[in-house]
């Protein structure tokens, strides 16, 4: 396997990691606000803030990792995306900045401030929507290269059913993943009333998720038949994803094994995400950048892979320490520490 | 109109973001080491005041780190959005430190999370102190990595340009380019200095305005001592940076010093102004000072600006940036030394109000010196984005809407800055140190009252 395949796999893994961790975080913000306006905040907000406090920064790093990695492994992709995404990218930056800093302001300074909670909840849904533009334009047809440089075709983007189906999918997935995680976490914390509430959210958001997935598949077949064909060739991967979805739904419905249910959710998205990624290749940005044309030179590629492995050796033990102290420390989760 | 010019607006937007980010980045690099020192001395001397100091600093830092992280994310993305052509080349050559920087952040973020939430979890407080070490290492390493990128922009090496493609790439040579050692040294030292100075400012202001308590007096002594030490390190590093410039980037030094003709025994020009014929007026000159600054030898020959083609000369106003930075450097050194002197000589009172007011200015002035220093360093590289290889205009995006984005980000930074100040104020105003001390250490506070 060439270094460019290692590179794209690593980056894709990081994007997947971000998808999961950030969804939990984004959705939690939305639920916290929703609970506040429906006067149920006393039930779940304690739970949400105990999980979020120690990890919000880690979430952001996943994202930074991804885009810095793109610049390193695929500088051409950075060029095209950079030229095209000035506006959506800037909007995403502003939203991320508002969210991250206001989270810190809220939790260390202005507890339960209504405006801050609103911003926190709203950005949680708007960020995935704006970031999903990057995936949408990778399908081709939304960018034009002229002698003046690369331009994003806004009308095409804003009127395309495919682009809206991706936005819709991004938002529902966030709510689904997040509520599934909170169900597991509430159960760990032995918090019955919170569990009941978030379990209801989880069941509620499961069907829109599967509907949105199907819709975006259909929209893809209209927008980019070639990619759709390749995805059909990998039908078993997507089948696996549906299977894990059923498992997760079944377990939560039964009210048992919430931990396994969340693992099934993670596997559901892992298979769908990798199925999507694999069928997207060889293109990174259709039709301008392919995995081979866009890759960095070999020396840099190999150096980056080495740096990556060394970095992991440093990070994995530290992450394990973090998890043992907080996420999986029963006393902490239950709020005794 | 310049508002429509994407190159100008990209420059303005990058300057805006970096000038804002660097405030938080500097504090993020320097405060961890101050926290670590305070906690360590606190444990060794069994002085709960210092432990509380470390604790309160950490709490304040969570806010500045949050803003640092989000603005850092902004600059990271903006580099690709605003300078796509530059990043295409840079991605091939200098992405290694950029990539490793993220590891350093990650490492730091993880341990900061642990450190924040484990103050009372260990029986032996030394274990908690040990957790501060990875934070110091992580933040200093990230400063190191990002500074190598900036150094690379000043003295690019480790690759060959073959038309539009880069070949013969050596990532390590690019990272360890000639500008790296002095730049890293100066950036790290000045970050430590500025953080110590800001903390000293806070202690001094509280003593001046609210009389303060023993807690604040200890904080003042610790922070001013640190300021003094880091100020020496910064000055040494700055001197080395000037020697580096003389050797490798003479046009930057020459523009900064208004040194037009190559000559031996060159004078150092401080402040002053230029008349229409580019002659220096109203300046203080130190005979042969520039030769000494550049080579450590009063008679050395220093290259003048006229050796450089006029379209490759940096703007001359950076002279003021350099002079202001250096003046602040010596002022900080002087005031902190005075304080130490007043403190050690028993007869003198180190809480002389004038001296305290002097200390109160150190933090804001040091932060200004950071900004002036960066403006000097970045403008002094003009017109190049990669010195000798790519100009700023070639690197910029061709997208139309940069002006609009500039306004958007002005709004964002205003909100972030204001929010940050409000929260910090609220955090410490509603919870004064004395009250927190009595709450956390009731035994110690009680014995104190009996003496
Ligand atoms: C508290 C901040 C501070 C203080 C007191 C000083 N500096 Fe500085 N200086 C910086 C903060 C800074 C900086 C922000 O860290 C810069 C900007 C770019 C860089 O590499 O470091 C810088 C750049 C910089 C450069 C340009 C380096 C380059 O472009 O490669 C030189 C020659 C000096 N400094 C020299 C000095 C001297 C002789 C000082 C005398 C005391 C001094 N600085 C004090
Ligand atoms: C990847 C690394 C970097 C890139 C691509 C970069 C690029 C640029 C560019 C293009 C400008 C505009 C210059 C102009 O006015 O025309 C600029 C300005 C500036 N940069 Fe850098 N820079 C980098 C690293 C840094 C670092 C590490 C700092 C420190 C925080 C920094 C601080 C500044 C400042 C303060 C300005 C404003 C100067 C002015 O007013 O023009 N830069 N940078
Ligand atoms: C002297 C210059 C700079 C210093 C000392 C510095 C330092 C820092 C610090 C301390 C943070 C907070 C990170 C944390 O605590 O987790 C930060 C965030 C960040 N900085 Fe800067 N920075 C500088 C310039 C730049 C430049 C030019 C870039 C662009 C390449 C950049 C990219 C970032 C990014 C992406 C983050 C967010 C990382 C995260 O999500 O944790 N920094 N920086």
DSSP string, A170-233: HHHHHHHHHHHHHHHHHHHTT-HHHHHHHHHHHHHHHHHHHHHHHHHHHHHHHH-HHHHHHHHH
Of residues B379 and A219, more confidently modeled: B379
Residues in chain A, total: 337
- From the list B76, B89, B99, which residue is nearest A307 (CB)? B99
**What is the structure's pLDDT at B190?**
94
Contact B77 A89 (CB under 8 A): yes
Span B228-256, pLDDT tens digits: 999 999 988 998 888 888 778 778 877 77
If one counts every other C-beta atom within 10 angstroms of the C-beta of residue A132, the result is 23
Q: Is the pLDDT of residue B188 over 90?
A: yes
B20 lines ligand 2 (CB under 6 A): no
If one counts every other C-beta atom within 10 angstroms of the C-beta of residue B309, the result is 8
- From the list B74, B99, B427, which residue is nearest A304 (CB)? B99
**What is the structure's pLDDT at B184?**
92
Picking from B171, B421, B428 by the largest number of A CB atoms within 10 A of its own CB, the best residue to mutate is B171
Contact B92 A97 (CB under 8 A): no
Span A77-115, pLDDT tens digits: 778 777 777 788 888 888 888 887 777 777 666 666 677
**What is the structure's pLDDT at B303?**
73
Q: Report the pLDDT averaged over residues B329-334.
A: 90
Contact A75 B117 (CB under 8 A): no
Distance CA A249, CA A262 (A): 10
Interface subset of B 24-63, CB within 8 angstroms of A: 59, 62-63
Rg of chain A's alpha carbons, rounded to an integer?
Answer: 20
Residue A73 tokens read as: 């492994």
Distance CA A184, CA A179 (A): 9
Q: Taking a C-beta distance cutoff of 8 angstroms, is the pair B274, B316 a contact?
A: yes
Distance CA B101, CA A68 (A): 9
**What is the structure's pLDDT at B269?**
73
Picking from B7, B83, B110 by the largest number of A CB atoms within 10 A of its own CB, the best residue to mutate is B110
Query: Model's pTM, two decimal places?
Result: 0.84
The alpha carbon of residue A41 and the mean position of all alpha carbons in its chain are separated, in whole angstroms, by 25
B73 touches chain A (CB under 8 A): yes
Q: Is the pLDDT of residue B450 over 70?
A: no
Q: Is the pLDDT of residue A323 over 70?
A: yes
B292 touches chain A (CB under 8 A): no
Q: Name the residue among B86, B182, B3 with its Cα closest to residue B386.
A: B86
| Ligand 2: centre distance to CA B13 (Å) | 10
Mean pLDDT of chain A: 77
Chain B residues in contact with A307 (beta carbon < 8 A): 96, 99-100, 103
**Closest-CA residue in chain A for B92?**
A296
Residue A335: which pLDDT band, with cuts at 50, 70 and 90? low
Lowest mean pLDDT among B99-108, B127-136, B260-269, B405-414: B260-269
**What is the structure's pLDDT at A334?**
55
Q: Is the pLDDT of residue B177 over 80?
A: yes
Of residues A51 and A318, more confidently modeled: A318
In angstroms, the first-to-last Cα distance of chain B is: 72
Measured on CA atoms in the order A134, A135, A136, A139, is the torsion positive or negative?
positive
Of residues B304 and A241, more confidently modeled: A241
Span B137-166, pLDDT tens digits: 989 999 999 999 899 888 888 777 776 677
The H-assigned helical ranges of B258-311 are 289-295
Mean pLDDT of chain B: 81
**What is the structure's pLDDT at B192?**
94
Span A107-160, pLDDT tens digits: 666 666 677 778 878 888 888 888 888 778 777 777 777 777 777 777 777 777
List the residue whose alpha carbon is closest to atom 20 of ligand 1: B183
Which ipTM value was assigned to this complex? 0.79
Q: Report the pLDDT averaged over residues A153-181.
A: 82
**Closest-CA residue in chain B for A337?**
B121
Q: Taking a C-beta distance cutoff of 8 angstroms, is the pair A178, A30 a contact?
A: yes
Span B358-393, pLDDT tens digits: 888 888 999 999 999 999 988 888 788 878 777 777
Contact A325 B118 (CB under 8 A): yes
- From the list B76, B82, B167, which residue is nearest A64 (CB)? B76
Listed by start position, the domains of chain B span 2-248+318-450
The alpha carbon of residue B284 and the mean position of all alpha carbons in its chain are separated, in whole angstroms, by 28
Span B251-302, pLDDT tens digits: 887 777 777 777 776 677 777 777 676 676 776 777 776 777 777 776 777 7
Lowest mean pLDDT among B179-183, B403-407, B410-414, B443-447: B443-447
B397 lines ligand 2 (CB under 6 A): no
Q: Taking a C-beta distance cutoff of 8 angstroms, is the pair A167, A132 a contact?
A: yes
Span B424-435, pLDDT tens digits: 877 777 766 666
Residue B449: which pLDDT band, with cuts at 50, 70 and 90? very low
Residue B118: which pLDDT band, with cuts at 50, 70 and 90? confident
């Amino acid at each position: 396997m060439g270094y460019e395949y290692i590179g794209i796999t690593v980056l894709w893994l990081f994007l997947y990691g971000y998808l999961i961790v950030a969804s939990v975080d984004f959705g939690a913000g939305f639920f916290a606000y929703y609970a506040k306006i429906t006067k149920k905040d006393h039930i779940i907000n304690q739970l949400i803030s105990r999980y979020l406090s120690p990890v919000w920064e880690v979430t952001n790093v996943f994202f930074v990792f991804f885009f810095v990695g793109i610049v390193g492994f695929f500088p051409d992709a950075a060029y095209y995306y950079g030229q095209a995404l000035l506006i959506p990218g800037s909007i995403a930056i502003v939203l991320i900045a508002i969210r991250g800093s206001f989270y810190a302001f809220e939790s260390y300074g202005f507890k339960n401030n209504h405006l801050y909670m609103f911003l926190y909840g709203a950005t949680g849904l708007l960020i995935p929507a704006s970031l999903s533009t990057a995936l949408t334009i990778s399908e081709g047809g939304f960018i034009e290269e002229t002698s003046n440089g690369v331009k994003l075709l806004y009308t095409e983007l804003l009127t395309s059913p495919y682009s809206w189906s991706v936005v819709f999918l991004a938002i529902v997935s966030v709510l689904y993943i997040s509520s599934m995680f909170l169900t597991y976490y509430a159960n760990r914390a032995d918090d019955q009333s919170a569990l009941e509430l978030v379990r209801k959210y989880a069941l509620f958001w499961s069907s829109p998720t599967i509907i949105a997935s199907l819709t975006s598949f259909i929209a893809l077949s209209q927008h980019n038949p070639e990619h759709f064909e390749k995805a059909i060739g990998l039908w078993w991967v997507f089948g696996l994803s549906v299977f894990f979805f059923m498992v997760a739904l079944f377990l939560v419905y039964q009210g048992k094994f919430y931990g396994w249910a969340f693992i099934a959710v993670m596997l559901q998205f892992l298979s769908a995400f990798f199925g999507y990624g694999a069928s997207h290749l060889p293109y990174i940005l259709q039709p301008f950048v392919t995995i081979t044309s866009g890759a960095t030179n070999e020396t840099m590629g190999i150096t980056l892979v080495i740096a990556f492995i060394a970095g992991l050796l440093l990070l994995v033990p530290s992450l394990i320490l973090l998890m043992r102290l907080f996420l999986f420390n029963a006393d902490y989760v239950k709020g005794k520490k | 109109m310049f508002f429509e010019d994407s190159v100008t607006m990209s420059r303005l937007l990058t300057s805006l973001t970096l000038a804002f980010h660097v405030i938080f980045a500097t504090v993020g690099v320097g405060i961890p080491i101050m926290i670590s020192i305070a906690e360590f001395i606190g444990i060794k001397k069994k002085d709960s005041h210092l432990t509380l100091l470390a604790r309160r600093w950490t709490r304040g830092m969570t806010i500045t780190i949050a803003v640092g992280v989000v603005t850092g994310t902004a600059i990271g993305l903006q580099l690709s959005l605003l300078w796509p052509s530059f990043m295409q080349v840079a991605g091939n050559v200098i992405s290694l430190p950029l990539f490793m920087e993220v590891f350093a952040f990650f490492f730091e973020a993880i341990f900061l999370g642990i450190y924040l939430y484990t103050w009372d979890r260990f029986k032996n407080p030394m274990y908690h102190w040990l957790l501060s070490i990875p934070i110091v290492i992580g933040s200093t390493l990230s400063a190191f990595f990002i500074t190598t990128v900036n150094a690379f922009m000043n003295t690019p090496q480790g690759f060959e340009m073959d038309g539009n493609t880069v070949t013969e790439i050596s990532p390590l040579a690019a990272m360890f380019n000639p500008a790296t050692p002095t730049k890293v040294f100066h950036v790290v030292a000045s970050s430590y200095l500025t953080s110590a100075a800001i903390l000293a400012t806070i202690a001094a202001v509280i003593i001046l305005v609210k009389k303060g308590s023993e807690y604040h007096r200890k904080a003042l002594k610790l922070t001013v001592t640190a300021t003094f030490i880091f100020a020496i390190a910064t000055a040494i590093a700055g001197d080395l940076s000037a020697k580096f410039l003389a050797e490798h980037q003479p046009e930057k030094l020459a523009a900064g010093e208004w040194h037009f003709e190559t000559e031996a025994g060159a004078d150092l020009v401080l402040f002053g102004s230029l008349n229409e014929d580019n002659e220096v007026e109203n300046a203080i000159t130190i005979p042969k000072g520039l030769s000494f600054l550049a080579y450590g030898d009063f008679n050395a020959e220093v290259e003048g600006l006229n050796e450089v083609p006029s379209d490759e000369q940096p703007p001359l106003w950076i002279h003021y940036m350099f002079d202001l930075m250096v003046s602040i450097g010596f002022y900080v050194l002087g005031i902190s030394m005075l304080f130490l002197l007043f403190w050690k000589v028993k007869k003198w009172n180190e809480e002389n109000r004038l001296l305290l007011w002097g200390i109160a200015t150190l933090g804001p002035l040091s932060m200004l010196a950071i900004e002036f220093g960066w403006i000097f360093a970045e403008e002094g590289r003009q017109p190049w984005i990669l010195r000798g290889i790519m100009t700023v205009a070639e690197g910029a995006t061709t997208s139309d809407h940069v002006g609009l984005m500039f306004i958007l980000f002005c709004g964002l930074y205003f909100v972030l800055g204001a929010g940050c100040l409000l929260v910090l104020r609220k955090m410490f105003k509603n919870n004064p140190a004395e009250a927190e001390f009595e709450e956390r250490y009731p035994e110690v506070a009680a014995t104190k009252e009996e003496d």
